[in-house]
Every structure is written in structure tokens, then in C-alpha cells.
Chains A and B, each alone.
Chain A
Amino acid sequence: DAKTTQPTSMDCAEGRAANLPCNHSTISGNEYVYWYRQIHSQGPQYIIHGLKNNETNEMASLIITEDRKSSTLILPHATLRDTAVYYCIVPPRLTSNTGKLIFGQGTTLQVKP
């Protein structure tokens, strides 16, 4: 798997944009970047994924650098409910991919009033 590196923790003011970085310098050309989050005492929740183009959905935006070695998840207007651990995952692109997600330590985002 492409190894990912994320900061351990970040703070964000409520209503401001939260920008969560992830480094994946060993990513292969056909591997996607996935983001999940886990709110306390809940199971992880899929947020978004991308290959090389920027992606946006109702939850967040994903910006992937041109060399694909890093990405940033953007929550445009963070709320207290966005306080969670955010995981950046790069699953391997194997012909018999299991869907085995490898979660690292993630980034604990604390949104403050």
C-alpha cells in the first residue's frame, strides 16, 4: 500500500475552512486517494475519493497535487459536528483487490466554537 502521512491533530474555528493535508509520496499512477472520518463512538464514514482531478461533493472537496504525492481534504465551513478523526487511505490497485482498507492514525480535527 502507498504509505500515507498525516498530522496527528489540528484545530479549526467553527465556520472556517478546515484543510487537512495528507502525504502519499509513493502512490502509484492508478491508485486512488480515499478519505474517511470517524466521529467519536461511531463507525468510520466515507467522505470522498479521487485519482488526479479535484473532486467535490456535499461533504467536502479533495485537492490532489499535480504530482499526486499529496492531497488536501477541505471542509469549507466546519461545524462542531465535524470534530472527528480523519483518515487518508490509498488502497492498492491489484487485480484481485479485496477492499481491505488500511487505516493509519489519522488526523484528529477539533472544531472549536
Chain B
Amino acid sequence: DTGVSQNPRHKITKRGQNVTFRCDPISEHNRLYWYRQTLGQGPEFLTYFQNEAQLEKSRLLSDRFSAERPKGSFSTLEIQRTEQGDSAMYLCASSLAESFNEQFFGPGTRLTVL
């Protein structure tokens, strides 16, 4: 399968703990995006990378959130000191730079903060 993969698929954690999610994009895609989706809502943009450079961050991405794409391939999204409001589906997508609106999404990581 050469699609976008995300791990883990589910994560349950206690409030105050740190969590890290991983996204492996389609190999030739140089753009990678993170979105967050809460129940009943459409996905909301968090941040994106072109190769290893993080080029935009949403105001939704508080200072407890950090994303990296160290070698321009896989990416990680870390949430520090999780809060119950962080409970959501975290979606990763990738695309070619020249067709950035045709994004391929992974299955998501569902985070539950108790």
C-alpha cells in the first residue's frame, strides 16, 4: 500500500501527558499537512510542510503543539500536557507542490484525553 499512513490509529491518554503521532506521506510528495477534526465538524488545518520546512501554522496550533518533518519524509506531531479539549481525530495529508489542493489523506489518529 503506497498511501498515507498514520500511527498509532488510536491513542488514549490521561490529561497532562505528552503524545506523539507519526505520519508517513506518499513517497514522492513534497508537501505534508496536518489537520484536526472534532466530532461532527469538517477537518481544520493545523500546519503544513514543504520538504522539511514548516511554512504555515494555524492559530489553532498552540505552543503545546509541535510538528516536525526532519528529513522531508515522515512527520511527527507532538502534543505536550494534553487537555481534554485536544481529543479529536488528527489527520495527515500529502500532495505534490504543483497540485497542492489535491491532497491524499491518511486514516487519522484518534486521540482521547481522559
Interface residues of A (CB under 8 A from B): 32, 34, 41-46, 49, 85, 87, 89, 91, 97-106
Contacts and interface: CB of A to CB of B under 8 A. Distances in A.
The 3 closest A-B pairs by CB, nearest first: A103-B42, A43-B105, A99-B100
Interface in B27-52: 31, 33, 35, 41-45, 48
Interface residues of B, number: 25
Contacts of B41: 105
Interface in B58-114: 58, 91, 93, 95, 100-108
Nearest to A103: B42
Contact of B91 (A32, A43, A49, A102): A43
B42 A99 contact: no
Contacts of A101: 33, 35, 43, 45, 101, 103
Contacts of A34: 101-102
Contacts of A99: 31, 33, 48, 95, 100-101, 103
Given A98-B56, A99-B33, A100-B56, A46 B103 contact: yes
A104 B42 contact: yes
Interface of B: 4, 31, 33, 35, 41-45, 48, 55-56, 58, 91, 93, 95, 100-108
Nearest to B58: A100
Nearest to B93: A43
Given A104-B42, A105-B42, A97 B91 contact: no
Contact of B102 (A41, A46, A87): A46
A101 B93 CA distance: 11
A102 B91 CA distance: 14
A36 B85 CA distance: 26
Nearest to B96: A99
